[in-house]
């Protein structure tokens, strides 16, 4: 997905409870990344070109939209990092750039 700083992403989706919800901006981009990644999940490093506040976007998806997104700790040279995996069933029904 290309990025245009003048455009704001708006995404409409159906959550695990069958209810529609809308997310915007970087939170919408985060949801797309999670859905596309599937079981592989995402790390902040993998999407570092735009997700400077990945943990915040995940928090919004967890608390405002009640999505199950656990963080799995992974060891790497020099420490650990967290990988976020979307466990809730989410269907993206529309993506709009405004």
Q: What is the pLDDT of residues 32-80, one digit of tens each?
A: 999 999 999 999 988 878 878 999 999 999 999 999 999 999 988 888 9
Neighbours of 32 (CB within 10 A): 16
Distance from C-alpha of 41 to C-alpha of 34, rounded to nearest angstrom: 6
Question: Which residue in 69, 60, 52, 67 sits closest to 27, CA to CA?
Answer: 60
pLDDT at site 51: 75
60 burial via Cβ count (<10 Å: 0-12, 13-18, 19+): middle
> Is a pLDDT exceeding 50 seen at residue 84?
yes
6-19 mean pLDDT:
87
Contact 31, 14 (CB under 8 A): no
pTM of the model: 0.86
């Amino acid at each position: 997905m290309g990025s245009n700083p003048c455009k704001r992403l708006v995404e409409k989706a159906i959550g695990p409870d069958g209810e529609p919800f809308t997310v915007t901006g970087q939170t919408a981009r985060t949801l797309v990344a999670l859905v596309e990644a599937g079981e592989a999940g995402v790390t902040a490093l993998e999407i570092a070109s735009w997700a400077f506040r990945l943990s915040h976007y995940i928090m919004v998806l967890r608390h405002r939209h009640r999505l199950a997104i656990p963080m799995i700790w992974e060891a790497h040279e020099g420490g650990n990092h967290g990988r976020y995996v979307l466990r809730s069933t989410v269907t993206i029904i529309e993506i709009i750039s405004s």
